[in-house]
Amino acid sequence: MTDLIIPPALRHHHHAAFADYLKTGESHTVGRRIETVAMRRDGSEFPVELAVSRLAFEGEPHFTACLRDITEQKRSEEQIREQAALLDKAQDAILVRDLTHRILYWNKSAERLFGWTAGEVLGRNSIELNCRQDGATFIEALQAVLEKGEWSGELRQTTKSGAEVVVENRWTLVRDSQGLPKSILVLSTDVTGKKKFEAQQLRAQRLESIGILASGVAHDLNNILAPILMSVTLLQESCQNAQDGRLLDLLRTSAQRGAEMVKQILSFTRGQDAARGLIHLDHLISEITKILRATFPKNIQLKTDAAKDLWPILADGTQMHQVLM
């Protein structure tokens, strides 16, 4: 009888295992349910679930075998595996959680995005795992998906390493055969890089606006400094007092520095590089010292300590003046 339903390739193994059981009383088949392959009348093979039981009859061992055709079950399982493989190839993180937020499914992209493997998260609470940052938004999203059947929006979530990511979520309510809510399908796309780029673009726009404003202010300062420089030059021509002459020199130097700073601002707003030239640091230090001594109160003493053989450098004079000042 067994040779009628056992495929030829398995018959030798079956007979050997049966003989071993009669000899030792140990078997991997008797008293258990296993999956194996059976043969039809036409010789075709098909998967079955086999349950073998031993019965004692008139002192002799007898065996009963119950077989169940699981062809459709195997076909469904294969289809599920193929679908799961396709989901693993998706770029978006895909997960399924029940209504108590226990994670039921977690694809490869979810592993890449959040850092946890499927084995680490299945059965765990998704809120405790990585949804604590936007608790209020999460509750609103949950209410929306239960009422409307879907929700989309952004959430700030954490990865296994503790890093924060901005994720664009699309939630869909999954119902059972009776139409009752069963689980929530979640598709997540990492938009952290997109958000950073948008922030950089906004910052660049703000800087551009500041540059336009600074350019207008610089032009106004130029209009203010021009008559000061002209007046200082005229006053120096008619000045007879040495003390007044020194004050006018200081005024002219400061006004010129102001004009150079305005020029530097204009160059920056226009995207031009600063003009560089040979700068003698000893002369620059001496000039700054004179300005500071004339500016500070008399009770403040200013001392400078610079080598006498400083080499000239190639730099922008206005920028170096700002650094030393």
H-helix or E-strand containing 140?
helix 135-148
The predicted pLDDT at position 150 comes to 92
Q: Each residue of 197-245: pLDDT tens digit?
A: 887 888 877 777 777 777 777 777 777 878 888 888 888 877 878 887 7
pLDDT at 177: 81
Give me the pLDDT at residue 120, please.
Answer: 92
Q: Please name the residue ranges forming H helices in 192-313.
A: 192-238, 242-269, 281-295
Q: What is the pLDDT of residue 285?
A: 83
Of 19, 42, 39, 40, which is closest to residue 29 (Cα–Cα)? 19
Burial of 158 (0-12, 13-18, 19+ CB in 10 A): middle
- CATH class of residue range 81-190: alpha beta
User: What's the pLDDT score for residue 117?
Assistant: 93
Question: Can you give the pLDDT at residue 81?
Answer: 73
DSSP for 164-180 reads EEEEEEEEEEEE-TTS-
- Rounded to a whole number of angstroms, the distance between the first and last alpha carbons of the chain is 105
Q: Please give the pLDDT value at position 275.
A: 66
* pTM listed for this prediction: 0.46
Q: Which two tokens stand for residue 102?
A: 């226990």
Question: What pLDDT sits at residue 86?
Answer: 67
- Provide the token pair at 114: 């959040």
Same-fold call for 2-72 versus 81-190: yes
3-state secondary structure labels for all residues of 14-39: HHHHHHHHHHHCCCCCECCEEEEEEE
Spatial distance between the Cα atoms of 16 and 20, rounded to a whole number of angstroms = 6
Predicted confidence at residue 270, as pLDDT, reads 63
How far apart, in Å, are the Cα atoms of 28 and each of 14, 20, 25, 35? 11, 11, 10, 12
Q: Which residues of the chain have pLDDT under 70?
A: 1-2, 80, 84, 86-87, 131-134, 265-275, 291, 294, 318, 321-322, 325
C-beta separation of 257 from 321 below 8 A: yes
The answer to whether domain 2-72 has CATH 3.40.50.720 is no
The neighbouring-strand residues paired with 103 are 97
Domain boundaries, the chain: 2-72, 81-190, 192-273, 274-325
Q: What is the DSSP string of 90-132?
A: -SSEEEEEETT-BEEEE-HHHHHHH---HHHHTTSBHHHHH--
Strands 103-106 and 33-39: unpaired
Within a 10 A sphere around the Cβ of 165, how many other Cβ atoms? 20
Annotation: CATH topology of 192-273: Helix Hairpins (1.10.287)
* Residue that is written with structure tokens 């003698």 in the block: 280
Nearest to 192 by CA among 167, 169, 171, 170: 167
